[in-house]
Amino acid sequence: MALLQISEPGQSAAPHEHRLAVGIDLGTTNSLVATVKSGMAVVLNDEKGRSLLPSVVRYGAEGAVDVGYGAQARQSQDPKNTIVSVKRFMGRGLKDIAHVESMPYAFEDAPGMVRLRTVQGVRSPVEISAEILRSLRVRAEASLGGALTGAVITVPAYFDDAQRQATKDAARLAGLNVLRLLNEPTAAAIAYGLDNGAEGIYAVYDLGGGTFDISILKLAKGVFQVLSTGGDSALGGDDFDHRVFCWIIEEAKLAPVSHQDARLLLTKAREAKETLTQHGEAPVTVKLGSGEYVDVKLTTEIFTEITRTLVQKTLGPTRKALRDAGLAPEEIKGVVMVGGATRMPQIQRAVAEYFGQEPLNNLDPDKVVALGAAIQANLLAGNRAAGDDWLLLDVIPLSLGLETMGGLVEKVIPRNSTIPIARAQEFTTFKDGQTAMAVHVVQGERELVSDCRSLARFELRGIPPMVAGAARIRVTFQVDADGLLSVTAREQTTGHEARVEVKPSYGLSEDEITSMLKDGFEHASDDAFRRALREAQVEAQRLIEATQSALREDADLLSTLERAHVDHCVAKLQALVIGDDRRAIDAAMDALNKGTAEFAARRMNRNVQRALAGKSIDQI
């Protein structure tokens, strides 16, 4: 029974006047829509009681557009006009798409995103996705009996800006008001966290049709904190189908097959995979359009063998995510399984083995993301009950920092920091009388600016002239809840300030993030060496500057011979500083330091004398 709240006089809401909000899991293989009814998240079924809507869109020659099971049933007859797994094309160019050669579509490369030529004309992935979303909207409005206020749509954690934007555009095209895009693993955590009231550190292992995501989440007192994320945006159940498909071709010794046959075989491959979830073997018998017969038997052993590398491929990002969170597998209290592909026994086994415990799957892995999205949508639509003010924390995927002298990166906010976050660090001037400072904001894990991604540059002017190292410039990095970074530089004595705003997580694709992370690990020792070299070079430059400035002021303190020696040391260091022999630079710096020690002492004495000149003892 619904629970009522006390309204203001005359303001009692009529029943069923909740603002209708839904959560949509726009999946690669299947999509779902869910809502919250009387405090319970439920998946909305179609008129035949089916919860899943296959993410398949068919453009018919007669002008009709078919979505879901109907389209799926026709896919082997009309593969060119039946689009499956369109999510893989969202916000992607032709070169980004794997297995293009085995796809039956007529691709058209277009700037930004591919297009597909269908019998009804050229369609973009956004339009195709919009058909799926429209179908879900119609289903939701029919079952809820009213127009929707808005929807939360889930996306893989690593979707980049182009992919997220494409998803939003598709929703708008489908007549949906997007309340928020929510990361799929986070949605799963919401579904599990709220429904089960569990606390502790959890891993969300999400192997969907087309994407793999692993997230390490901390659930405590209704606060979700994403400790780290990782994944592979081109790995999913479809790849398992593809492996089986290739195995069938090989096993049945088939010549290259037509598009129709390829589609038919892929369907058979998927059926065989699903059969193996419950059974030890799956016969594959089919008559191809070419007249050939296929009659092979896929066993669990063979299936496990041919997909072993795919299973292993999920454990790499899993390890990395754990390492990022600073955790060992045994510190994970539970592993949440999401995505239909996690039903495969060898996945369950591999995950159980890695984490040393049986994974949690008490919610339907196909529905859990939609349920979480529905809960979030319900809150965002304003149907919140008193006390429902939980927080959702997210992390930044790559470190944020700025360029310091010598092209080095000073990390200000390390990656996987939870947002919102603000960090400040003090910097100083490098040269005497320096009145401006360039602030170059970069993102990445490498030590050198040239290996990181440049986000923004700005200048702080109006620093009062001071000797090098005396100015205090406070640089503050602030990332708000929407991932918007603002960097402020402020000179502490005058209060002069300059700032810039950037969106750090956007514009980087998952591949770029992954490769930047990988580079970071691979080049760690290399980078450490180069960093040490750059630091030595910067230090040497500073020493040369300081010596030359001292020589300009107090050259008379040196004899001709002494002066020649200092000049020699400076020249030697100047020659070495452009090279990459750090030891030689260090040695030359030592030599210069020794060679100027006496000079420095005399300068000190002179300065003391100057300061004391004409003053009586009492004045000091």
* Active site positions, annotated: 25, 87, 184, 206
The verdict on 614 binding other proteins (CB under 8 A) reads no
Residue 195 or residue 512: which is nearer to other proteins going by CB? 195
Residue 196 or residue 418: which is nearer to other proteins going by CB? 196
* Cα-trace Rg, the chain: 32
Residue 16 or residue 287: which is nearer to other proteins going by CB? 16
The verdict on 602 binding other proteins (CB under 8 A) reads no
The verdict on 2 binding other proteins (CB under 8 A) reads yes
Residue 38 or residue 559: which is nearer to other proteins going by CB? 38
Residue 17 or residue 101: which is nearer to other proteins going by CB? 17
The verdict on 525 binding other proteins (CB under 8 A) reads no
7-15, 108-116, 414-422, 594-602 -> range binding other proteins (CB under 8 A): 7-15
Residue 197 Cβ, how far from other proteins at the closest point, in Å?
8
CA–CA distance from 348 to each of 208, 342, 356, 444, 602 (Å)?
Answer: 14, 6, 11, 34, 76
For residues 178 to 217, the per-residue mask of contacts with other proteins, x marking binding by CB under 8 A and - elsewhere, is ----------------xx-x--------------------
Residue 197 or residue 291: which is nearer to other proteins going by CB? 197
The verdict on 620 binding other proteins (CB under 8 A) reads no
What is the footprint of other proteins within residues 303-322 (CB under 8 A)? none
Contact 321, 205 (CB under 8 A): no
The verdict on 63 binding other proteins (CB under 8 A) reads no
Backbone angles phi, psi at 222, to 5 degrees: 75, 5
The verdict on 6 binding other proteins (CB under 8 A) reads yes
Extended strands (E) in 200-301? 200-207, 212-220, 223-232, 281-287, 293-299
Rounded CA-CA distance 600/550 in Å is 9
The verdict on 37 binding other proteins (CB under 8 A) reads yes
Residue 107 Cβ, how far from other proteins at the closest point, in Å?
47
CA–CA distance from 338 to each of 189, 295, 366, 428 (Å)?
Answer: 10, 33, 7, 49
The verdict on 278 binding other proteins (CB under 8 A) reads no
| Half-sphere exposure of residue 299: CA atoms within 13 angstroms, side-chain side | 2
DSSP 229-256: EEEETT-SHHHHHHHHHHHHHHHTTPPS
CA–CA distance from 536 to each of 520, 571, 578, 580, 583 (Å)?
Answer: 22, 16, 11, 10, 9
Residue 133 or residue 377: which is nearer to other proteins going by CB? 377
Contact 592, 542 (CB under 8 A): no
Residue 17 Cβ, how far from other proteins at the closest point, in Å?
9
Query: How many residues touch other proteins (CB under 8 A)?
Result: 27
213-224 burial, b if ≥16 CB within 10 A, otherwise e?
bbbbbbbeeeeb
The verdict on 5 binding other proteins (CB under 8 A) reads yes
Q: Which helix (H) or strand (E) holds 502?
A: strand 497-502
The verdict on 382 binding other proteins (CB under 8 A) reads no
Query: Residues 6 or more apart from 275 whose CB is under 8 A from it?
Result: 282
CA–CA distance from 564 to each of 559, 586, 595 (Å)?
Answer: 8, 21, 10
Q: Which helix (H) or strand (E) holds 491?
A: strand 485-491
57-65, 234-242, 386-394, 536-544 -> range binding other proteins (CB under 8 A): 386-394
Length of the chain: 620
Rounded CA-CA distance 50/44 in Å is 9
Backbone angles phi, psi at 331, to 5 degrees: -85, -5
Burial class from Cβ neighbours inside 10 Å (0-12, 13-18, 19+) for residue 519 reads middle
Residue 5 or residue 560: which is nearer to other proteins going by CB? 5
Extract the tokens encoding 407: 């092209």
Candidate list 106, 223, 385, 571; residue touching other proteins; CB under 8 A: 385
Query: Residues 6 or more apart from 121 whose CB is under 8 A from it?
Result: none
Candidate list 49, 256, 387, 614; residue touching other proteins; CB under 8 A: 387
Residue 147 Cβ, how far from other proteins at the closest point, in Å?
18
Q: What is the dihedral of CA 128, 129, 133, 138, to 10 degrees?
A: 10
105-113, 299-307, 382-390, 464-472 -> range binding other proteins (CB under 8 A): 382-390
Candidate list 305, 388, 497, 590; residue touching other proteins; CB under 8 A: 388
The verdict on 511 binding other proteins (CB under 8 A) reads no
The verdict on 8 binding other proteins (CB under 8 A) reads yes
Residue 175 or residue 222: which is nearer to other proteins going by CB? 222
Q: What amino acid is encoded at 534 in this protein?
A: R
Residue 10 or residue 495: which is nearer to other proteins going by CB? 10
181-189, 213-221, 231-239, 385-393 -> range binding other proteins (CB under 8 A): 385-393
Contact 506, 483 (CB under 8 A): yes
Question: Of 213, 212, 214, which is closest to residue 236 (Cα–Cα)?
Answer: 212
The verdict on 578 binding other proteins (CB under 8 A) reads no
The verdict on 564 binding other proteins (CB under 8 A) reads no
Candidate list 16, 287, 518, 568; residue touching other proteins; CB under 8 A: 16
The verdict on 49 binding other proteins (CB under 8 A) reads no
Residue 9 Cβ, how far from other proteins at the closest point, in Å?
5
Residue 196 Cβ, how far from other proteins at the closest point, in Å?
10
8-16, 282-290, 420-428, 612-620 -> range binding other proteins (CB under 8 A): 8-16
Residue 8 or residue 618: which is nearer to other proteins going by CB? 8
Strands ordered across the beta sheet of 392-395: 334-338, 200-207, 212-220, 223-232, 392-395, 418-419
Candidate list 22, 30, 33, 39; residue touching other proteins; CB under 8 A: 39
Give the residues lining the site for other proteins (CB under 8 A): 1-12, 14-16, 37-40, 194-195, 197, 222, 385-388
